Amino acid sequence: MVKISNFGTFKGKSVDQYTLTSSTGVEVDIINWGGVVRDWRVPTKSGLRSVVLGFDTFDDYPKHSPHLGALAGRVANRIAGASFTLDGKTYALPANEAGSTLHGGPEGIGNLAWDARADDATNSVILTLLSPDGAMGFPGTLKITATYRLDGNRLRLELGATTDKATPVSLVQHQYFNLGTTDDVLDHRYWFAAGAYTEVDDKLIPTGNILEVKPGSERDFRAPKTLRDASGKGIGYDGNFVLDAGRNLKDPVAIVTAPGGDLTLKLWTDRPGLQFYNALTTNVPVPGLGGRHYGQFSGFCLEDQAFPDALHHAHFPNIIVTPDKPYSHWCDIEIA
């Protein structure tokens, strides 16, 4: 049975927490503000271990969260110049990062209170959001559904959206993970099914070039490795990997193992890209779960996604949704 409790209020609306518990003892807390996975606890030999970054109190989320555990959109990642043209019309968006629009703008879907209900029969929570025509400058009334279902050690996220007019949609789960017991994730071991990446400029905007990963380079995760260079210094990442085309969707696209090997994360997705971010610029000014400080390299994000700034690169996978072509996207994450 899904446990429901009040976690706070946002603009007069109740923010509730839905706790999913599985037969293997995994516990996942999800709040209806931003669709945030607030905490995720996995059994280990030493007891339950929190494996995501989050906050113990709600007020810290709208004030201090760098999208911790949230759903991001309407269009996740960056839109260059905070504008785009669709069917001959140019749409101006709010610029909230270096002249670009990031994660749908300052009032994107990860910063709003959703409607939610529990489904005990499937051990799920179903979140819904109505984003009106013109929200953050985007056209079309968008109806979004996000369903989290916990089965054993695997959390499945199914995303869907319908619209009444053509509009761009690219949603993302923005969880920050730390599978270990230290304050950084540099010594985890990372493997990705990705032999290419989208090149970016100094503002992290794609140039349009899709480049092959050079064997043995910092971007080559086709053999498991840590995030340290030869001298032991941490390497920072914030970029989109192009997942191998023609892959079997039954196979994971990312595998990450904690130091000591006691926990391993596997991620499956139907998306073409994977944004890898290891908290390179993160510095949260308030304590996180259990009083932990979230600074540089405190977590890693595996954001399964369409390519960033796809609206300005016609050869990138199309992100335009229409009334007869709704949005659909799934992601499975297993930690055991």
Q: Which residues are catalytic?
A: 174, 303
| SS3 readout for 68-112 | CCEEECCECCEEHHHEEEECCEEEECCCCECCEEECCCCCCHHHC
Q: How far is CA 284 from the centre of its chain?
A: 18
d(CA 300, CA 147): 23
Q: Which residue has the tokens 């209806």?
A: 32
On whether the CB atoms of residues 296 and 281 are closer than 8 A, the answer is yes
Tell me the residue length of the chain. Answer: 336
Q: How many CA atoms lie within 13 A of 115 on its CB side?
A: 7
d(CA 215, CA 131): 44
Q: What is the DSSP string of 132-179?
A: -TTGGG--S-EEEEEEEEEETTEEEEEEEEEESS-EE-B-EEE--B--
Residue 56: count of CB within 10 angstroms of its CB = 14
Nearest to 28 by CA among 63, 2, 61, 66: 2
d(CA 4, CA 282): 31
Determine the residue type at 51: V
d(CA 117, CA 18): 9
Omega cis (within 30) before 74: yes
